[in-house]
Structure 1
Amino acid sequence: MARTVAHVIVDALKELGVRHVFGVVGDALNPLTDAIRTTDDLDWVGCRHEEAAAFAASAQSQLSDTLGVCMGTVGPGSVHLLNGLYDAAKSRTPVLAICGQVPLAEVGSDYFQEVDNDLLFRDVAVYRATVTSPDQMPRMLESAVRAAVTQGGVAVLTVPGDLGDQELSEDRPTRFALAAPRTRPEDPALAEAAELLNSASRVTLLVGRGAREARTEVLRAAELLAAPMVLTLKAKEGFEGDNPFQVGQTGLIGNPAAAHALDNGDALLMLGTDFPYRDWYPTGCKVVQVDTRAEHLGRRVPVDVGLAGDVGATLRALLPLLEAASDRTHLDGARERFARWEEGQQRLADPGHERRWTGRLRAALDNRDHEIRPEALAAAVDRYADEDAVFTSDTGMATVWLSRFVGMRGSRRLVGSYNLGSMANAMPQALGAQLWAPDRQVVAFCGDGGLSMLLGDLMTIKTYGLPVKLVVFDNRRLGMVKLEQEQAGLPEFGTQLDNPDFAAVATALGLTGIRVTDPAQLHDSVRRAMQTPGPVLLDVLTNPEEVAVPGKPTVAQGWGFAIAKIKETLSSHEG
């Protein structure tokens, strides 16, 4: 019996091991959602907003290293996918978006809700095409999936509403052939890199997510070179725990030890990272970069030796050429600086800090109402969350506190919009993560601005009984924007948020809602949230004046902040 276009797609998704399809139902998708309804081991997850669906699919793909799938119906339904798909594209994770379209005969007539999907998704997708005949299947689907998986990106397949239930005249099984090659550079390039690294006296490693599968080789390289290891945020997962070489992150969320390790090395070895902030790279040192994508070599900082290849395969060939360093001064000094910085951070996270004279002095400047410190909240979550918890975080200050106070030890995982930098990602990504790992704890670090932007999908969490733990850093601000304005010398403007009681909203929706306003109740409340069965929203009112000092604060930033505070004070008196 011949299959329909919809069944070819759905059967292939099941064959690929896809377990969930995220979206919002609609007329053009009816043949596809009906095929999912009658297919075992493939579940439809009905979201309240297609953007949440795309974020959830992206999170599943990043966690599973397999294809994520979302769907949007004609016009607005597909348009709403766009931001979540950009997150997948920037994260270089494979996601297939199935989009509805008006009936084939009406395409090009400016029909009701008609949108040119092939044009709309041109920038975000590595593959995009519209099915115009049943007999283009399964070949077109194979091309879409193959492009997404092999290129690590988004594929968009558009299916007009009247084609989904049409039968193929000649049916055949799908064939994907998705095996990925492992490449490494030629021997002369490796020898050149080894000569550069062996001749250096102070080597620093900058390690990104692209090195995750080569942890053993990366640690061996750090050991041979006696090199401190600076991690990108995405490399926290996989390299932070049980690592005697790591010194934390660089950049605005980073710390002085990492900045010092970079600035005081005479050679930098970059492994699987495309860290974008040029101002945070060292100057005046030799650079070796390893990346699977040759086009990434040298685009952030000039490189002396660029090695295009898989990090693991490249290091396995490079390690025998490296000489063991005898001087560990650079490594030991960086680790000592990092330990001192961590001790200072933990003091800030201590709920009793403000009872000491140093804490009272600081509070007089930035926390006169003695509200809960976000550092203390993040540290408490780190303490009570499971050792195999999956964390997500909203872009902004929530990510800063997670970066500094949550350790990726054990088998913990981490997902966020760390390349696109979107708001509102943490909650829908947690939704996808919980469906991917139903027996693991999933904790979302939500900004109040981010959570409120896609608040409706709390109902999706309730509908599917997902036991996610949503931790809301409720500072009634767009906190990162506030900090950016003040560092530039501008008074805070437009960042204040008139928030509801998020815990009460959660309770009204059928979730467990917990609201915390007293620092003395913080630890008990966090413990209760982590241990309560089912979905929990922990709404913690945090200090809106908290400042995250970057690893290398500049005089201009400090002066700008002082000027901004003067302007804010004058404005409040005028009001």
Structure 2
Amino acid sequence: MARTVAHVIVDALEELGVQHVFGVVGDALNPLTDAIRTSAGLNWVGCRHEEAAAFAASAQSQLSGTLGVCMGTVGPGSVHLLNGLYDAAKSRTPILAICGQVPLAEIGSDYFQEVDNDLLFRDVAVHRATVTSPDQMPRLLESAVRAAVTRGGVAVLTVPGDLGDQELSGDRPTRFALDRAVTRPDDPALARAAELLNAASRVTLLVGQGARGARTEVLRTAEQLAAPMVLTLKAKEGFEDDNAFQVGQTGLIGNPAAAHALDSGDVLLMLGTDFPYREWYPKDAKVVQVDVREDHLGRRTPVDVGLAGDVGATLRALLPLLKAAPDRAHLDDARERFARWQEGQQRLADPAHEHRWTGKLRAAVDNREHAIRPEALAAAVDAYAAADAVFTSDTGMATVWLSRFVTMRGDRRLIGSYNLGSMANAMPQALGAQLWAPDRQVVALCGDGGLSMLLGDLMTIRTYRLPVKLVVFDNRRLGMVKLEQEQAGLPEFGTELDNPDFAAVATALGLTGIRVTEPADLHEAVRRAFETPGPVLLDVLTNPEEVAVPGKPTVAQAWGFAVAKAKELLPGGEG
């Protein structure tokens, strides 16, 4: 029996184990969505905005390690996918985006809603193709999926609206060859790396997401070298829990112990990370870098030995060549500094802190209204969230507080827009995560700016009865932008948000809404939000003047902040 283009695509997605397709319906997609309607194993998730659909598909892909799928109809519908697809591309997660197109005979005529998808997605996609004949299937689909999975990126397949229901002349089954090779460097390169590491007196590890599948080997390496382990944000999952070597994050969201561990080492061993901020790398250390992508070697900081290969396979070959470090002073010093920093952070998270003399002194400067501190909210989330919770976080201050106060213990998972740095990602990613794991708790740490940008997809959460817990850090600000302005010596401008009562909005949309304005009510509200069945939005009014001190603040930053505050206090904001 002959099959249509649409049924070839839907049957193949079922074969690949895809369970959800996210998108917004439209006439160019009608043959495809109708094929999904009659599918036994593929489910359509109708979103309110295609950007949310792309974020949701990306979340499922990142959590499952398999293909995520989203759809956008002709013209504007496909354009709306772009931001979520860029996030997937920067996260190197496999996504198939199926886009509608004007009828085949009208392509190139500047037809109503016509957009050149092959040009539009040129930068974001590792593969893009437009179906111009039914008999190009399933070959074009196989190529698109293979490119997305093996290269870790976005593939865009464009289907003109009049082709989806056309029949193929043959009935060749789809064939996907998706196995990926595991590689390691050659022996001379490993010998050079071992020589450099064995000669060092203070080795520091910088560990990224690319090492998460090699936890045992990474811990053995840290033990052998007595090396403190600085984690990127994406390495919190997999390395933060039960790890006697980790000292948290570096960079603007990091801490002074991690910054000192990097600066005081004489050799830096980078494992599966492409940490982008050059100013946070040590200036005088030798560097050994392990990365599966050869083009990543040395692109952030000069590298003395570059090892192209899978982190696990590389370390298994390298470990027999490493000598045990003669002392643990470098590691012990870093861990002691980290413990002291953590103690100070936990004091800020204690609601009683405002009543102690140190808390009163700080509050006189940055919290005169005694509003809820975001540190306290993040710590409460950490305390009450499940041991296998899936967390998403909006870019900005919500991620800062997650980084510092939410621990990835147990089987917790974590995703966010940590490479693209988009706003508005946490809620739609939570949507995709909850559909991927319907029996697990999913917690989205939302900024008020991010939540309001894609607010409409709260209705998607309601429609599909997803028990997502949305925690809103409602500081009535674009908080990270405010901090960046002030550190540069500029008065706050354009960052204030005229927010609604988000809990009331959620209630009107059919979710449970809880609003918290007093510090004394915080813990009970967080506990109630997590224990309430179904979707809950917890709107917590946090201190808008809270400052997240970076791991190694500079004199210029401190002076800029002082100048900005002076300008803000003067009439008209003039210095």
Q: TM-score range by the shorter chain?
A: over 0.9
DSSP-derived class of the 2:557 partner: helix
Normalization by structure 2: what TM-score?
A: 0.99
Quote the Cα distance in structure 2 between the aligned partners of 1:326 and 1:240: 26
Match of 2:356 in 1: 356
Match of 1:17 in 2: 17
Quote the Cα distance in structure 2 between the aligned partners of 1:127 and 1:169: 25
Quote the Cα distance in structure 1 between the aligned partners of 2:37 and 2:326: 64
Quote the Cα distance in structure 1 between the aligned partners of 2:138 and 2:319: 45
Match of 1:487 in 2: 487
Match of 2:79 in 1: 79
Q: Is 1:437 matched with 2:444? A: no
DSSP-derived class of the 1:513 partner: strand
Match of 2:46 in 1: 46
Q: Structure 1 residue 552: deviation in Å?
A: 0.4
Q: Structure 1 residue 572: deviation in Å?
A: 6.3
Match of 1:446 in 2: 446
Match of 1:177 in 2: 177
Q: Which residue identity does 1:184 align to in structure 2? A: R
Q: Structure 1 residue 399: deviation in Å?
A: 0.2
Match of 1:244 in 2: 244
Match of 2:95 in 1: 95
Question: Cα deviation per residue 1:91-115 (whole Å; 9 max; x = unaligned)?
Answer: 0000000000000000000000000
Match of 2:564 in 1: 564
Match of 1:211 in 2: 211
Question: Cα deviation per residue 1:208-255 (whole Å; 9 max; x = unaligned)?
Answer: 000000000000000000000000000000000000000000000000
Residues 291-370 of structure 1 mapped to structure 2, 5 A cutoff: 291-370=291-370
Match of 2:195 in 1: 195
Match of 1:466 in 2: 466
Question: Cα deviation per residue 1:165-199 (whole Å; 9 max; x = unaligned)?
Answer: 00000111111110000000000000000000000
Quote the Cα distance in structure 2 between the aligned partners of 1:255 and 1:218: 22
DSSP-derived class of the 1:74 partner: coil
Q: Structure 1 residue 70: deviation in Å?
A: 0.1
Question: Cα deviation per residue 1:280-333 (whole Å; 9 max; x = unaligned)?
Answer: 000111100000000000000000000000000000100110011121000000
Q: Structure 1 residue 573: deviation in Å?
A: 8.4
DSSP-derived class of the 1:246 partner: coil
Q: Structure 1 residue 571: deviation in Å?
A: 3.0
Quote the Cα distance in structure 2 between the aligned partners of 1:514 and 1:145: 43
Q: Structure 1 residue 358: deviation in Å?
A: 0.3
Normalization by structure 1: what TM-score?
A: 0.99
Match of 1:384 in 2: 384
Question: Cα deviation per residue 1:59-78 (whole Å; 9 max; x = unaligned)?
Answer: 00000000000000000000
Q: How much is the aligned-residue C-alpha RMSD, in angstroms?
A: 0.7
Q: Which residue identity does 2:412 align to in structure 1? A: R
Quote the Cα distance in structure 1 between the aligned partners of 2:366 and 2:41: 53
Q: Which residue identity does 1:409 align to in structure 2? A: R
Match of 1:113 in 2: 113
Q: Which residue identity does 1:321 align to in structure 2? A: L
Give the % identical residues. 88
Question: Cα deviation per residue 1:355-411 (whole Å; 9 max; x = unaligned)?
Answer: 000000100101111100000000000000000000000000000000000000000
Quote the Cα distance in structure 1 between the aligned partners of 2:96 and 2:534: 30
Q: Which residue identity does 1:398 align to in structure 2? A: A
Quote the Cα distance in structure 2 between the aligned partners of 1:491 and 1:290: 43
Match of 1:542 in 2: 542
Match of 2:186 in 1: 186
Q: Structure 1 residue 36: deviation in Å?
A: 0.5
Match of 2:422 in 1: 422
Quote the Cα distance in structure 1 between the aligned partners of 2:20 and 2:352: 45
Quote the Cα distance in structure 2 between the aligned partners of 1:210 and 1:171: 40
Question: Cα deviation per residue 1:458-516 (whole Å; 9 max; x = unaligned)?
Answer: 00000000000000000000000000000000000000000000000000000000000
Q: Structure 1 residue 353: deviation in Å?
A: 0.1
Quote the Cα distance in structure 2 between the aligned partners of 1:245 and 1:285: 20
Residues 257-296 of structure 1 mapped to structure 2, 5 A cutoff: 257-296=257-296
Match of 1:145 in 2: 145
DSSP-derived class of the 1:269 partner: strand
Quote the Cα distance in structure 2 between the aligned partners of 1:137 and 1:32: 14
DSSP-derived class of the 1:562 partner: helix
Q: Does the aligned pair in 1 maintain the 2:491–2:573 contact within 8 Å?
A: no
Quote the Cα distance in structure 1 between the aligned partners of 2:222 and 2:243: 10
Gaps of 5+ in 1: none
Q: Does the aligned pair in 1 maintain the 2:567–2:573 contact within 8 Å?
A: no
Quote the Cα distance in structure 1 between the aligned partners of 2:384 and 2:281: 35
Quote the Cα distance in structure 2 between the aligned partners of 1:523 and 1:96: 41
Q: Is 1:533 matched with 2:533? A: yes
Q: Structure 1 residue 41: deviation in Å?
A: 1.5
Quote the Cα distance in structure 1 between the aligned partners of 2:222 and 2:329: 13
DSSP-derived class of the 1:247 partner: coil
Q: Is 1:513 matched with 2:520? A: no
Quote the Cα distance in structure 2 between the aligned partners of 1:180 and 1:173: 22
Q: Structure 1 residue 138: deviation in Å?
A: 0.2
Match of 1:30 in 2: 30
DSSP-derived class of the 1:372 partner: coil
Q: Does the aligned pair in 1 maintain the 2:354–2:363 contact within 8 Å?
A: yes
Q: Which residue identity does 2:543 align to in structure 1? A: N
